[in-house]
Amino acid sequence: MRHRKAGVHLSRTSAHRKALFSNLVAALLTNERIRTTDAKAKETRRLAERTITWARRVGDVLTKKVDRRTTEESARVVHAVRMARRVVRDRGAVLKLFDEIAPRFEGRRGGYTRIVKLGQRPGDAAPMSLLELLPDEGGSAPSAPAETPAKGAGKAAKPAADKGTAAKAPAKAAAKGEAKAPAKAKAEKKPAEKSSKK
């Protein structure tokens, strides 16, 4: 029995597990959505919500300028940052947490994330989920990371380098089309000539 033993093992050592979840929470805070297995998503959600709560609790102090804070308020912010850094080792993710994410959830008492089931992974049929931060109360959705071209998509999926090449592309396509048109006409005439010879 595993009474009073929270968390999952995931067949990893404790150090590996800590590093894994630290990276997942940092990725969630940075990108605002991650795609992972169900078990990892559920555990990451638990840690991420706890971390966001640390930042949200000092939200009233964060609105003040640094030189206007009392000694006690500064100590509260330092303590909250240190508690968040226990889980998230990435400095950039912690800065984003305190600057952007915590003010977004100022009036919310938990439930900052949602898990959307995605089905099974093709390779090993592992159940996959999308873990994402909830959007603002105003309704703006979290910014999706830039879409990368699919593997093997080739040059067609890549964006044009500049406007000059984008403008030249239709002209080149038109020129190629004109060049192909006479060749097609010749190909169509050849069978007609052969039939007349017979």
Predicted confidence (pLDDT) per residue in 25-52, tens digit: 999 999 999 999 999 999 999 999 999 9
Asked if 126 and 160 sit in the same domain, the reply is no
**What is the domain extent for residue 121?**
14-133
Residue ending a domain, choose from 84, 100, 133:
133
Residue 172: the pLDDT is 52
Asked if 64 and 112 sit in the same domain, the reply is yes
Mean of the per-residue pLDDT values of the chain: 81
| Residues comprising the chain, all counted | 198
Among positive and negative, which fits the CA dihedral 22, 24, 98, 134?
negative
Query: Per DSSP, what are the bridge partners of residue 128?
Result: 37, 119
Asked if 170 and 108 sit in the same domain, the reply is no
- Residue at 149 is within a domain: no
Asked if 82 and 172 sit in the same domain, the reply is no
Query: Per DSSP, what are the bridge partners of residue 127?
Result: 120
pTM of structure:
0.68
Residue 139: the pLDDT is 54
Tally the domains of the chain.
2
* DSSP assigned state of 101: I
Asked if 174 and 118 sit in the same domain, the reply is no
- Segment 83-101, tens digit of pLDDT: 999 999 999 999 999 999 9
